[in-house]
Every structure is written in C-alpha cells, then in structure tokens.
Amino acid sequence: MVSPRPDGLGEILEDSDLRAAGAAHKVALTLKIRRYNPEVRGEESWWDEFEIQADPDDRLLDALHQVKWYHDGTLALRRSCAHGICGSDAMMIDGKNALACKVIVRDIAPKVTVEPIRGLPVLKDLIVDMEPFFAGYRSVLPYLINDSGEPDTERLQSPEDRQRFDDTTKCILCAACTTSCPIFWGDEEYVGPAAIVNAHRFVYDSRDEGGKERLKILSEKTGVFRCRTTFNCTEACPRGIEVTKAIQEVKRSILFDRF
C-alpha cells in the first residue's frame, strides 16, 4: 500500500503506517473500579466491574469516560488535559500510581484494576481530598526568595546553573509520588516527596536566597529524614523526575552544607 518514496523514507513510512492502521480493531477491556460514595453506601467502599470495547490506542482515561458516559454517570474522577501535563488524574492502576491519561489500553487489556491514590481521604470513587497534599507543598515556601533587588533586565544564570535544578521543575503536583510513599501512608505529618521536589527546585536555583529557611523546614521531624529510600516515588513519577535522588540531595545539603 506504500507508494514509491525518495531514498530512505520507504521503510519508515511503512512502519508508521502499520502502527496507525493498528487502531482499527477494538479490544475487550474489563475495568474493575473501587467505588466509594457516602451519599449512597455510607462509609463502605465496594468494587464494580465494567466491560467495554476500546480502541487499543485509547488511553485508560478514554475507557473511564466510556464507563462514565455510557454505563454509570455517577462514577467520579478528576481529569482535564488528558495528555499528562495537568496532573489531575493520578490513580492507582493495577497497584501502581500513574496518570490514567498516560496509560494506554493495549498495555492493560484485557483487565485493569483502578483505585484512588492512597494516603489521602477518599471523597468519592477516584476523587481524594488534595488539601493535605497542597498544605505540604505550601509548607516548603515554594516560590523564589530573593531580597537583593531586581535588575532592570533579567538576572543572569549560566546554562549549567539552570540545568542544576531542571529535573525538579517538571513537577506537575499530581501527587503520584507522595501517595506511593509508604512513609506518607503511615504518617500524615510527613511532607512527602512532592513537597521536597518543589523545595529542591528552589534550593538549587542559583537565583534563590531562601535555601537555608527551606532546609531548616525540611530538617524538622516532618521533613526529609522520614524518607527510607524505597524509590516508590521515582517509579511513580509520570514526569520521569528522579524524586529519590532529589530527596537524597536535600538530605546531603542539610547534613553537610551547615546552613
């Protein structure tokens, strides 16, 4: 089906053609979803199963929409951008935290289990109370602190200094890391990985002057030393941030930089 191409293009086009063509066949997908609705069953949670036909290229989010739109309108979940940037749809999917919009049906069919992220109070179905999570975020002073006055143009920063904190600028505050952390599950006082990531983003920014203050906050008993380096957070991060490494860097700065 591939027409003649200039040198070097033929094989690649054919390959991609096949991938795009693969979208034509639907597959069966069973979604086992943990439900909770205080208006319907009080404090009891339960499981529901839905069987749908889905495009293998669809996102799990598309499949959840199919359930919500055509099977059970009461199913509650958060979502917005649907391509892994807004951070709304973190869920526990087959036992691991991920964004429903970054999990593809072909990778989970024929059956997937979906639960709310752990460690935060469930409010309805897949929706949890995010306030404790954002309180942790706010506690680390997540904004640039610089009282030295502003130049007329930009502050200078070398590409190397900029690169120093690049990884932690990617955070979308989806809570996948924090709610995969066994320490956080057991101790709601712990600020959790995401808050530390957002502190890291400023601590290692050469323009920032609030590092000492932040490191002091993170050296307290609710801070970084709760971390037991289980690496769940790094595995869970949909943005590929090396969360555990960032936490370790903050620990080292507290121990050795004598702030």
Task: List C-alpha distances in Å: 9 to 1, 22, 88, 193.
Answer: 14, 20, 39, 45
Nearer to other proteins among residue 133 and residue 227 (C-beta): 133
Residues 193-212 that bind other proteins (CB under 8 A): 202, 205, 207-208
DSSP label at 59?
Answer: B
**Cβ of residue 169: shortest distance to other proteins, in angstroms?**
5
Contact between 159 and other proteins by CB under 8 A: the answer reads yes
Contact between 57 and other proteins by CB under 8 A: the answer reads yes
- Up-side HSE of residue 35: CA atoms within 13 Å toward CB? 19
Contact between 143 and other proteins by CB under 8 A: the answer reads yes
**Cβ of residue 119: shortest distance to other proteins, in angstroms?**
18
3-state secondary structure of 172: coil
Contact between 148 and other proteins by CB under 8 A: the answer reads no
Contact between 162 and other proteins by CB under 8 A: the answer reads yes
Nearer to other proteins among residue 95 and residue 159 (C-beta): 159
User: Which region among 5-13, 178-186, 213-221, 222-230 touches other proteins (by CB under 8 A)?
Assistant: 5-13
Contact between 43 and other proteins by CB under 8 A: the answer reads no
Rounded to 10 deg, the angle between the 131-139 and 193-203 helix axes is 30
What's the CA dihedral at 18, 23, 25, 27 to 10 degrees? 120
**How many CB atoms sit inside 10 A of residue 259's CB?**
13
User: Which region among 25-33, 164-172, 184-192, 228-236 touches other proteins (by CB under 8 A)?
Assistant: 164-172
**Cβ of residue 258: shortest distance to other proteins, in angstroms?**
25
Which of 60, 137, 63, 68 is closest to 92 using CA atoms? 60
Residues 21-40 that bind other proteins (CB under 8 A): 21, 23-24, 37-40
CA 6 to chain centre: 42
Nearer to other proteins among residue 187 and residue 213 (C-beta): 213
Residues 110-139 that bind other proteins (CB under 8 A): 123-125, 127, 130, 134, 138
Contact between 41 and other proteins by CB under 8 A: the answer reads no
CB 89 within 8 A of CB 55: no
Residues in contact with other proteins, counted by CB under 8 A, come to a total of 73
CA 54 to chain centre: 24
